[in-house]
Every structure is written in structure tokens, then in C-alpha cells.
Structure 1
Amino acid sequence: MPSPRADTAPPAPQPVSRQVLADRYAGPGEHDASQIYRRVALALAQAERPERREAVARAFLRNMEQGAIGAGRIMANAGARRTGTMVNCFVHPVGAGRGAASFEAGLADACKTLSMGGGVGYDFSVLPPADAQDRAGLPSACEAIGRYDAASAALAFEGARRGAQMAVLSCTHPDLLAFARAKAGRKRWRGFNLSVAVSDAFLQAVVDDAPWTLCHRAAPGPAARARGAFRMPDGLWQYRRESARALWRAITEQALESAEPGLLYLDTINRANNLRALETLSAANPCGEQPLPPYGSCVLGPINLSRLVSHPFGVGGPATLERGRLARMTRIQVRLLDNVLALTRWPLPAHAAEARAKRRIGVGITGLADMLAMLGLRYDEEAGRAAARDAVRIIRDHAYAASAALAAERGPFPLYRPQDYLGADRVGAELPAAVRRAIGRHGLRNSHLLSFAPTGSVSLAFGDNCSNGIEPAFDWVYTRMVRLGREAPVQTRAENHAWRRWRHLMGEDAPLPPCFLSAASIAPEDHVAMLAALQPLVDAAISKSVPVPADCPLERAQALFLQAWRAGLKGLTLFRPAAGMDAVMYARDAPQRPCSPPGDCAACE
């Protein structure tokens, strides 16, 4: 092994990072990250009392310089003249309650939100099946998704990136198969990611090889009645009974073929929700890290863990996570995101009302895999998962402590109830005693504190292309398609941050140690194991795709989805490389394969 360099400072930013920063986040007169940080810090300090603004702005600025930034909407829009929102993600109802007029109003609300840069998720399950008898002027679920997709594609939108959308359909909806197969070849509904909301009962029926009822409140038409549809005692109409395993096979075949639909484990989501006594969740934002009620939203902000390793790779001393600094940064990050709620432009009054009642925020992470590599740990081994859990536990504990401190200063969120947090089966049972006592005295300022998004563009622009979110690095050096403004994407060389640090410290010819693992070199089951290690500590959810080999058999894909369910995950998406699919990133010496997750998750960055 060559001797390390005496100069241990990080290398200068690479060209692709400077390009993306300038295109997506820099305002007039801004040329580097420090200028953006200063604009954002000054803007978000305006939520403070006048005498505290200068000190808080300095704290926000220092935090961003150390790696705790806002998500993309914050970094682009805070303190800027743009009219976009600083909120990344929303969930909307589709407006089925009062017939056609309500549907059109819901579509208009979605377009307004998307035009301001927000991404939106929807549960289309309330809309009638294609062969319902009387739709009261409503489109069927699949027709409605097409309407939303066409309307959003025609929008003028704010900023460099269009907000993505998520369509969710229940596993009980009679059009389940048509929905699951709708994006075969990825030619239809290009502005949408798709997820099937699966229940424990459905998955148990799969395991037991039992029949499954597809039903809806809308009355079936003559064709469905001729096939045996009938009204059930609970008022629902049973359209037909299918083999649960046959439905499961069709869903998972399509998930393996085109990376969609993903699965949302809806019962798990609702059991784990801090506010499960007050709301029922049936949809998530476009990348799946934030299950939300109707008109719910969340502001996001990741902490770059790759910036928090002292003596990376053991150069100059033992490589360790700077736990105290991570704790301090988390507390400041909670304050910054709570300030966003006070200052952002809201697309709709309903968003503002829902946000003020619950004050959801989402402290996140990026650079996890790079952190592990710098610590000399493998992503696919228990020691790596234990280190990841340790970092996330610090974030969780100090986020809740900071929210309790904010509640003492500003008051708890209006719907706060002690029993939702301090009961035996609630999040408080897992927190340190001092944090529980603080919550007991003051309550919480925010109903939810953690949400792990993909963070692709902000990790590229502000993190020197560190491994994004909790994903492993795609590769060490690769070609990335980068869209600048509204021009066609161009090919750009991109280098992983941890790899650049290693080369900078150890030299160009130093062999990579075993802790360097790309996404494709990790077994799919170990990707799921990392999710399972972290999800119990995250009160919202985690966005992650699990890459599987090109020759992955269907049975393995099905086992991965069941592994995720049994492990208590809230959602899962698989990705298998396939010729002909649109690619965002290309490995140097491998067939083209797109980034993970596939689709446009700009809403989460």
C-alpha cells in the first residue's frame, strides 16, 4: 500500500458538480456553493425574532458548510425571486367525492402544485373501475391517471426541474391488473411512478395460496354482473375473485420487467405512523419516503454523512464518525426545516392548514455508503449496518430532542397529544430518558422528524457526487446524462466522492480496499437488509431501489418483496437492467443501466 499524502483536504469540486449547481440552484450573481448557502441561511433566519436572526443565520450557514443542507426546493428557492415552493412533496386527493366537478377541481389543484415545483402523490383507488355501471361523470382510475399525466406534461413549471408524481392503487381495486401492467415498456404515464398499496391480508393470502376479492363501492356494469359480480353485506360490490398468487405473479412480473409498480406496505405504514389515531395514510410522495394524508406535505433536508468521518480510511488516525458534530448539526437542521414551514409559499391553502396543524419535517441523510467506505466498513455486512444504525440513531434522538426544545420555545404542533408519543408502543419508548422527559414537559414542535429521500441532484451539486441517500455508489467513474436548463441531456463524466478522496489520499494506482462496493456488486437481499436496519429509526419512510441482476428469476424478486414485508419496511422498488430503457447513468465497461431509483424523482431532491 502506498504511503498516504500529507495533504488530507478534500479535492476541489469536479466539473459535473459545478455544472449542476450553477444550473439548478444558483441565482443571479451566485457562482459557488458558499454564496447559495449564505442566501438560504439569511432567508430562513427571517422566521426568528429580529434580535436572533443574525446569530441563527450564522448557525444555518455553518451547518450547510459542514454538510447539512436543504433539499433541492429549499436550496433553489429560499431567498430567491422565484415563485416556487420550498416544500418538496405533497399528497392530494383526486377529488372523487362530489362527482365530475370535484375531479376537475382536484386536477386543477394538482396542476397548480406541480407548476410551483412540488411533487405529488395520489391514491386513485377511490375512482371507479373501468366496467362500473354509473361513474357519476368520473373517469376510471386508469383513465384519470392518463388525464393527470397529460395535464402535467402541458404545464409551464417553476425552476429547472418538474415535480414528479406517484399513482397508488389498492390491491383490492378491480382494475389492479390493468394498473400494474400499464407501464410495460415505460411508454405510458411517463410523468408518474406507480405503486400498489398491498395489505397484510393480501400478502398473507399470497403465502396461503388463497383467493382474493377485488371490490369497489361503485356498482358494476352489465358485463361485470354477467361474470358474477354482486353486492356484499358491507355495501361494497365484489367484482370478482382471483387467485392471490396469480395477482401477485402479475404484479411482480411487471415490477421485475420495468421497475414498476413498486409496493407500499400500507398496514405497516399506518401501524408505524406517529399520528395513527388521527389520520389514515393511503398514498406517498413520488419517491415513497413520505407517506402523507390528503394535502399533507413535508420539507426535507439531508445531512451528508461523508463529511463527518475523521481520518477517512484511517489516514492520520483511526477513522471514526464525529458523533458529537452529527448531533449538533441535527439539532440545527430541525430548526432550519421548521422555519421553512413558516416562510414557504404554499400552492394551496389546504397545504398550509395541514402543515401548520402537524408541522411534518424530514431530516434525512446522504453519503451513507461513502461514510461506510471511509470507515473501512462494507455496506453488505452487519458491521456496516450497525454503523449506519448508530448514525441514524443519533439523528433520531437529537431530532426529537430539538423538536421538544422548539416546542418549549414556540409551542407544540396544534394536534400534539402526549399519548401519541409517550405510550408503551410509541416512538418515545425507544428514545433516551432525557428526551422522553423533555417531550413530557414541552411536547413536540413537529409530528414527524425523519425522512430519507434519494437526494440525487443535491448530493451531486453540494456533496461532490457522494453516494446519494442510503444508496451505495452507482460506480466509481461513470458517464451521467445531465440536463442543463431545458436543453437535451448531455453526457458528463462523474466520479464518486469517496473514490476521489481515496485517490487523492493514496494515489492513482492504489488498489481499492474491500469496503468499496458499488450498487450492482451487493446482493439484493443485502440492500433490503440495510433498509430493514434503518427503517425502525425513521418515523416517515426511506426511498431506495433494490437493483437485481439481469437474469434475476421471478421467484427471487417475489422473495425480496416478501422479505421486505416481513422485515417491517414501508415500501420497496426493484430495478433490473434491461436494454431499451431510458438511462441516466452508464457504467464505463458495462451495458447501459439507468440510475436507481428509475423515473423522475426530482421532487425529492
Structure 2
Amino acid sequence: MAPIPEGLAPCNWTPDAIKLVNERFLRRDREGNIIETREEMCWRVAYYIASAGKKYSRSEEDIIDTAKNFYTLFAERKFFPNAPTLYNAGTGNGLQFSACFVLPIYDSMNGIYEALKNQAIIHKSGGGTGFSFSKLRPKGALVGSTRGMSSGPVSFLKVFNTSTEFVKQGGMRRGANMAIMNVHHPDILEFIACKSQLTDKNITTFERTKPYIYSRRGLDQLRISLLETQIANFNISVAATDVFMKAVKEDAEYDLIDPKDGQVVKHLEARKVFDLIVKMAWETGDPGLWFIDKTNRSPANPLQGLMTIEATNPCGEQPLFDFDVCNLGSINLVKFVVREGDKYVINWEELEKAVRLAVIFLDNVIEMNPYPLPQIMELAHKIRRIGLGIMGFADMLAFLGVPYASEETCRVAEEIQGFINKIGHNESEKLAEARGAFPLWDQSIYKDQKPIRNCTITTIAPTGEIRILAGCSGGIEPYYGLTERHQFEDRILYRIQPGFDRLMEIARERGFYSPMFEEEVKNSGHVGDLNIPDDVKRVFVTTHEIPYRWHVKIQAAFQRHTDNGVSKTINLSNSATVADIEKVYWQAYESSCLGITVFRDGCKGGVLSVGISGKQKAKESRDFIRSRPDLVLGPTIRVETPDGAAFVTINFDPDIGPNEPFEVFINVAKAGTDAAADAEAIGRLASSFLRLESPKSSIERLIQLKDQLKGIGGSRVAGFGKGKITSLADGISKAIEIYLKRFGFIDDDNIKPKAAKEKDKNDAEPVLSKGNRCPKCKQSALVYEEGCVRCVNCGYNVC
């Protein structure tokens, strides 16, 4: 490794990028101490990948010059390769540099477990894996060697998922996977529903827990949480053929085909299968829909007629042959937007330079990559597939002043991606002149064109980690929020998008800036409900404010100029219907999209919050009281009071659960007595307080009630010691406390600190001398003890 040259630009990255790179990318010694800087990391990767030039008789001086150019791309955050290259290149750890692989699963026990072993090897080095389960025999098929019955592909999918739990990607995180099944497989219905049906073990857990959950919403959340433990490490997609989609449109039946012998074994109504796909996607976000025939007719398959693509990488944007691999990298578009006068424009010249350098870098990776399996090594060098993509598209639009949901954005998308694809292909042709075309070029779709170094050039990937390093928006996605709070396990990252800075710049230029405005946008992450010009609002929209048809149109616009696939999630609001998702699928199929993934807000748990506060915006207080549901549930709690036994009922809406107490009823003494009247009055006031719309939650208000009523004293008491009740109000406070503890909203430590030393249970309790409230805490909690008056609530004392 050549020493880092002097005079290179420093890596002045954002705080969230620095936090991430320190956690995951920098080299460490055996004790876990960081032993390289950001600059040293960038040089490590740049020099090692530039060293591929040695294989083409490049001098050391030339290699260092190339490494400097690569380094500058990283330091200035103009381009980053996929994360495994940054993790492993130049470290000497023997681990490979690519993110995307597809592995075959052969229909035998040896074949299945060989694929399982290969999956673990790839995950260990930081790669993700895609699989087609379409070749496995269906459930119930005869197993010749044992004369038993096959358990089917879905059972083995669960085995692959379990294995992933125990192998972290690159030693940093659990591996990512894609499972695909052809829609003609006999087990397709089980596959479609596999992420929405509880396993036998989880059904038992659900049924045992069900009696202790007091709301429909709570049961729904329990079911979702259990489902997320099943096949949690796989995305799943259905490989939809043209025959199937035609049958859906014509409301016809289609064939299910045994993968072992190719025989038709059954017919299904295509519309019912399609409806199930749509319904499951609405409920869980899976499965996606991948158009396998369209993909194999596209440049993603450069060996049409020779090889067939049957699966994709985990995020779906990279279709791959069996044992295929792709080295990915992305250009940060916002770094190529410059100001000219009073507007921003694209610096095409600088963008071209970055594209050409990036293509050279990714081709060099193929030479230097210690691929984990010999079959992968062989195919990688035969076809030399690379995938250059983009990130920061939403940021670029913000600076150009172009609304995401517009025809202008579709035009910009085609212009940008068309330019990158054209320059990328041209640079690959230049590399072919110097280094030779990929070995299977003469059997490829390019055989009648100029020789080219790489079988594919462009892919648009989701850019999860590298977009944080680059300090930009992800891939071609719109903003989820202008500011974001991302939590993974114990790590929290706060992100301020470049678009936020542009918004503040516009606000100052147009006269609607204020510190309060900046703080509001920073905390909420969006501008939709703020009083600013409409044209500004249209530019700074977030993903759920964009109609789904524009998401699909923009994906299609990019796909028209991309060799491989395009990663794009069609984000839908929680109110989106099943019919909306069906429309998305048809729009994608009838356009240039190779596949489609939808995500309805709330169908799964998440780790990303809009705004940096990490809190939902408080509801505005409205001057009305909620109406009473037809059905309420709640416990009745008996407490002894100086006026006799009081029965306190605290009801809640069964659809919501005990976290939203709704009303309080109190029965004590005989009707017509003063005590009964007091009880009714307190119950009415408490109920009105709980039912009034408020920024405070119902539990917060119930705790306030408890605290206000606690310790109120009269001339009589009931009970002794900790169970002593000093008035009806104090008894109601005790009942509320029991409710809060019963449902887990408070515990003993929240109610009263434990004594440093436990008293002997036979010790006599001090005699209460009740009168005025404590002058310090205003609670009726004064105790006369050993000649002094002491407040048991706040510690105030007079001797």
C-alpha cells in the first residue's frame, strides 16, 4: 500500500456520516480500537482498486494518479462504491467487495444445503443474496431417495431465513435476501401468503397472549410483531410472466407447472392469484411483483438466448444469472448542481468526468475482488457486469426548483439517466479498446456493435449507507422528510437533507424566513401545513404527499435509460386501498418498469422518523368532548375509604385499549348521601377531563388526576400503613394507581421511591395529624412524628 500523498482534500463530512463511518467502515485493531482516519480509509480503497492497472502494465506513478482521482471522488462525496468495497478493499481480510449476488438452489438435499452454506459465506463478507425457489419440487411431491413427501419450497425458505439470523453481513448487520417464486409454481399460493400467516409456534404464542390484551388494536399489533419475526430477513417477490398477466386481464385460468418434469399439474384463476398478491402487499408490503419476461427481454440480460435470469438481488434492482454478481456504485447528483446568477444548473462537464472515473473504478473492482466462490469468480470475469447509479436526485430537484410530482421531473430523469448511460457505455467501449471486451461479448446483445468492456453499465440502487456518507437523499426517492431521525438498535442518526438548506436559502431570498420557521421545519421534517408560497410547497413535498402514479412514472422514466433495474419504493399513505395497489401494479407492468414494490405506511414497523425531534407532532387542542362509544370495557376496583367501600370503574374503548381511559364511575355509600353525591361529582369531572380533546395523552391526564387526588385528607381514615386511605378522593387516587400499575403504565418506582432500608413489618405507623396541606408541595401529607411535623410527600419538616 502506497502511503497517502500530501495535499489531498480532507474528508469534511456531515456529523451523521462521521458517526456511521466510525461505527462501520474504519479499520480496528483486535481490541476494537479505530486505527485509521476517514482520509486513510478513502486512500486505502482508492489505491487498492487503482492497483488493478498493474495487470495492464500501468506504472506506479499512473496508479497513484488514478488513486488520487478516485480519492477525490470520495472526499468530495461525489461518488461512492457499495459498502462492502469500503469495508474490505485494501484491508487484507480476504473478504469480497460486492453487494449483490444470486445463488441457485438445486432440487436435492445436497443442493439446498450447498446454497445455504454459500449464502453464509457471502453474508459474512457483506454481500446480499437472491434466490429463486422455483426449481424446488412442491409440497407433497414424492422424494425418491426416501420415499417420503417433500415439505415444499416455503419450508426451506424458513431454513434460509433462520440461518441469516446468525450470520451478520460484513460482521456488521444481519444479511439481506430476496426470495422469488415463479407464478406458475404449484406452491405459489402458499408462497404469496407466507409472510402474512402465523407459524404454529406463533399461533400458540398469540392465543396464549390474547386474553391479556384488551384492545383490537393491541391484538393487531401483536400479530404484526409476530409476523415480523417470521421470514424477517427476506424480501419476497412473485415472478409474473406475460402469460399470467394476460390471463389476469382476460379473467382466465393459467397453468401451474411441476418444476421437476415441466408437466401441467393444475389450473388456477389468474385473477384470484393476482388479487391475493395485491391483498398481501397491502397488508404486509410483500410480495413485490417482478416481471420476469420483460426483464429477460431487456439489457439486464445481455446473453439472451444463452442464459435466463430467474432472480434478483435483495432490493430487486439487480437481475442476475445464477452465480452472478454486480459491483454497484452511485454518483451524488447534488454535487453537480452549481449556481449561475439567480438559479442553479447542472454542471454536465464535471458530471461526465465523474461518470467516466466511476466506470473505470467499478471495472477495476472486478480485477481486484476476491470473489467468495469459484463459480462467481468465473462468471464475473466472463461478463464483467457493473451497475453505476445515482443518489441525491431529490436534492438536485430542490436546487433546480422542480416539483417531484411533475412532467418536468420525468424529463429531467430521462435527461440525467440518458446522459449517464450514454457516457458510461462510451467509457466501457474505451476500456474495451485498451483492455479487451468481456469474453462473452460475441454471444451477447452487443455482438453487432462496438466491443464493450462490461455486459451492463447502469443500475439504480437504494444507496442505504452510502447516501449517509454522501450526505444526500437516497437513490431516486423523494424526501421522506427534509430532516430525519434514523434509529437502528441503539444507534440514532440525525440527518439534515441538502434540500433543507436550499429551503432556508429560498426563505431568506423571498422574505418568509424566521428562526421559528427554521426550527419548525427542522423538527417536523416537512412544510405541507406551513404558511409559505404554494410554488415552494410543491418543490419541497415529501413522499406521502406525492400521488402514487408519479412514483411509478418516475421509476419508468429512469428505467428507459438503465441497463439493469431501478430501485424505487412506491410509498403509499396508510389510507391507500387494495384497489390503489392494483392500479400501481398495472401501471408498472404497462410501462417500462421491470418490477414494482409498494409500501403502505404502517403495514410494517419502521426505524425512520420524519423530523429530528423523533416525536409525532402533537394534536391540536379542539374545544369538544369525544362522544361515547356504544361498547366500553374496563375494570372495577374496590378500595376502602372513610366513607365505606368504594367501587371505581375506569372504562376504555375496546378498539383502542387501556392506553386511552375514557371515563370514571364511582359508587360509594347509599344513594342520596353526601358521600354518593361527592363520588358522582368527582366521576363526572374526571370523565369530562379524560374525554376532552387535548395535546396530552389520556394516560398523562389520568396520572394528573391521580396526583391531584392523592393525599387529600379529612377527619377520618381507613386502613393502616401503606394501605391507609385518608378520604374518598385519596381512595379514588389509589384505584387509579392500581389501574395504571395493572396495565403497565407506571410501576412502584414511579409512584414512590423505595426506602433505603426496609422497616420491620411490626413497626408502628406514625399517627397522621391532618389539617392544612403541606406549604411546600400543597399535598395533604403532613405526619406528626417524634415531636415534629414532616411531609411524607416532599420531605418538608418543622420541629
- TM bucket (normalised to shorter chain) is 0.7 to 0.9
Does residue 309 (structure 1) correspond to residue 337 (structure 2)? The answer is yes
Is the 2:388–2:459 Cα contact (8 Å) retained in structure 1?
A: yes
SS for the counterpart of 1:17 is: helix
Amino acid at match of 2:166: A
1:583 pairs with one of 593, 597, 606? 606
Deviation at 1:214, TM superposition (A): 1.6
- The CA distance in 1 between the partners of 2:13 and 2:168, in whole Å, is 32
- The CA distance in 2 between the partners of 1:210 and 1:50, in whole Å, is 65
| Structure 1, unaligned runs of 5 or more | 1-10, 219-234, 424-438, 483-487, 593-605
Match of 2:72 in 1: 62
Is the 2:441–2:447 Cα contact (8 Å) retained in structure 1?
A: no
What are the equivalent positions in structure 2 for 1:147-158 lying under 5 Å apart?
147-155=159-167, 158=170
Is the 2:130–2:179 Cα contact (8 Å) retained in structure 1?
A: yes
Structure number, greater radius of gyration: 2
Amino acid at match of 1:360: R
Deviation at 1:84, TM superposition (A): 2.5
TM-score norm. by structure 2 comes to: 0.64
Amino acid at match of 2:113: E
Amino acid at match of 2:585: F
Match of 2:269 in 1: 243
- The CA distance in 1 between the partners of 2:330 and 2:307, in whole Å, is 26
- The CA distance in 2 between the partners of 1:301 and 1:195, in whole Å, is 24
Deviation at 1:473, TM superposition (A): 1.3
> 1:157/1:214 Cα in 2 relative to 1: closer, same or farther (>3 Å)?
same
- The CA distance in 1 between the partners of 2:415 and 2:432, in whole Å, is 26
Q: Between the two proteins, what is the percent identity of the paired residues?
A: 29
Match of 2:42 in 1: 37
Does residue 537 (structure 1) correspond to residue 548 (structure 2)? The answer is no
- The CA distance in 1 between the partners of 2:548 and 2:490, in whole Å, is 30
Q: Which is worse superposed, 535-544 or 17-26?
A: 17-26
Match of 2:180 in 1: 168
TM-score norm. by structure 1 comes to: 0.84
SS for the counterpart of 1:250 is: helix
Is the 1:550–1:576 Cα contact (8 Å) retained in structure 2?
A: yes
Deviation at 1:386, TM superposition (A): 0.9
Match of 2:8 in 1: none
- The CA distance in 1 between the partners of 2:144 and 2:393, in whole Å, is 48
Q: Which is worse superposed, 582-591 or 319-328?
A: 582-591
SS for the counterpart of 1:174 is: coil
Is the 2:87–2:170 Cα contact (8 Å) retained in structure 1?
A: no
Is the 2:103–2:131 Cα contact (8 Å) retained in structure 1?
A: yes
Amino acid at match of 1:481: Q
- The CA distance in 2 between the partners of 1:524 and 1:43, in whole Å, is 43
- The CA distance in 1 between the partners of 2:562 and 2:305, in whole Å, is 19
> 1:532/1:290 Cα in 2 relative to 1: closer, same or farther (>3 Å)?
same
Does residue 24 (structure 1) correspond to residue 36 (structure 2)? The answer is no
Match of 1:495 in 2: 496
- The CA distance in 1 between the partners of 2:94 and 2:169, in whole Å, is 10
Match of 1:132 in 2: 141
Is the 1:377–1:383 Cα contact (8 Å) retained in structure 2?
A: yes
1:209 pairs with one of 221, 246, 251? 251
Match of 1:382 in 2: 407
- The CA distance in 1 between the partners of 2:419 and 2:89, in whole Å, is 28
What are the equivalent positions in structure 2 for 1:515-526 lying under 5 Å apart?
515-526=539-550
Match of 1:279 in 2: 307
> 1:282/1:136 Cα in 2 relative to 1: closer, same or farther (>3 Å)?
farther
- The CA distance in 2 between the partners of 1:75 and 1:100, in whole Å, is 36
Deviation at 1:213, TM superposition (A): 1.8
| Structure 2, unaligned runs of 5 or more | 1-10, 29-33, 197-226, 519-531, 619-799
Amino acid at match of 2:177: Q
> 1:259/1:345 Cα in 2 relative to 1: closer, same or farther (>3 Å)?
same
Is the 2:99–2:128 Cα contact (8 Å) retained in structure 1?
A: yes
Amino acid at match of 1:16: D
> 1:368/1:31 Cα in 2 relative to 1: closer, same or farther (>3 Å)?
farther
Match of 1:146 in 2: 158
Does residue 289 (structure 1) correspond to residue 312 (structure 2)? The answer is no
- The CA distance in 1 between the partners of 2:305 and 2:617, in whole Å, is 49
> 1:547/1:582 Cα in 2 relative to 1: closer, same or farther (>3 Å)?
same
- The CA distance in 1 between the partners of 2:144 and 2:478, in whole Å, is 46
SS for the counterpart of 2:22 is: helix
> 1:271/1:586 Cα in 2 relative to 1: closer, same or farther (>3 Å)?
same
1:543-599: CA deviations, max 9, x gaps?
1110112121211211110110110211111000126x321102246599xxxxxxx
Match of 2:640 in 1: none
Deviation at 1:189, TM superposition (A): 0.8
Deviation at 1:163, TM superposition (A): 2.8
- The CA distance in 2 between the partners of 1:459 and 1:522, in whole Å, is 22
1:476 pairs with one of 482, 487, 504? 482
- The CA distance in 1 between the partners of 2:132 and 2:144, in whole Å, is 17
1:570 pairs with one of 594, 606, 612? 594
SS for the counterpart of 2:584 is: helix
Deviation at 1:62, TM superposition (A): 2.2
Deviation at 1:13, TM superposition (A): 4.4
2:538 pairs with one of 514, 523, 530? 514
Deviation at 1:74, TM superposition (A): 1.2
Deviation at 1:513, TM superposition (A): 4.7
> 1:135/1:87 Cα in 2 relative to 1: closer, same or farther (>3 Å)?
farther
1:484-516: CA deviations, max 9, x gaps?
xxxx33344322222134436746547555311
- The CA distance in 1 between the partners of 2:333 and 2:353, in whole Å, is 13
> 1:391/1:145 Cα in 2 relative to 1: closer, same or farther (>3 Å)?
same
Deviation at 1:38, TM superposition (A): 1.7
- The CA distance in 1 between the partners of 2:263 and 2:293, in whole Å, is 22
> 1:21/1:294 Cα in 2 relative to 1: closer, same or farther (>3 Å)?
same
What are the equivalent positions in structure 2 for 1:135-534 lying under 5 Å apart?
136=145, 139-155=151-167, 158-184=170-196, 185-218=227-260, 236-272=262-298, 273-311=301-339, 316-417=341-442, 420-421=445-446, 440=450, 443-460=451-468, 462-464=469-471, 466-482=472-488, 488-503=489-504, 506=508, 508=515, 509=517, 511=532, 512-534=536-558
SS for the counterpart of 2:131 is: strand
Is the 1:172–1:214 Cα contact (8 Å) retained in structure 2?
A: yes
Q: Relative contact order (C-alpha < 8 Å, sep 6+): which is higher?
A: 1
- The CA distance in 2 between the partners of 1:30 and 1:539, in whole Å, is 39
- The CA distance in 1 between the partners of 2:577 and 2:112, in whole Å, is 41
Amino acid at match of 1:246: K
Amino acid at match of 1:384: T
- The CA distance in 2 between the partners of 1:136 and 1:381, in whole Å, is 60
1:288-311: CA deviations, max 9, x gaps?
111000000000010000111002
Is the 2:325–2:380 Cα contact (8 Å) retained in structure 1?
A: yes
Match of 1:79 in 2: 90
- The CA distance in 2 between the partners of 1:479 and 1:516, in whole Å, is 18
Is the 1:84–1:159 Cα contact (8 Å) retained in structure 2?
A: no
SS for the counterpart of 2:266 is: strand
> 1:249/1:37 Cα in 2 relative to 1: closer, same or farther (>3 Å)?
same
- The CA distance in 2 between the partners of 1:236 and 1:340, in whole Å, is 40
- The CA distance in 1 between the partners of 2:480 and 2:537, in whole Å, is 17
- The CA distance in 2 between the partners of 1:537 and 1:87, in whole Å, is 23
Amino acid at match of 1:448: T
- The CA distance in 2 between the partners of 1:446 and 1:217, in whole Å, is 33
Is the 2:12–2:75 Cα contact (8 Å) retained in structure 1?
A: no
Amino acid at match of 1:119: G
Is the 1:127–1:139 Cα contact (8 Å) retained in structure 2?
A: no
> 1:30/1:384 Cα in 2 relative to 1: closer, same or farther (>3 Å)?
farther
Deviation at 1:361, TM superposition (A): 0.4
Deviation at 1:14, TM superposition (A): 3.9
Amino acid at match of 2:393: L
- The CA distance in 2 between the partners of 1:20 and 1:567, in whole Å, is 38
Match of 1:547 in 2: 571
- The CA distance in 1 between the partners of 2:173 and 2:362, in whole Å, is 21
Amino acid at match of 1:536: R
Deviation at 1:276, TM superposition (A): 1.4
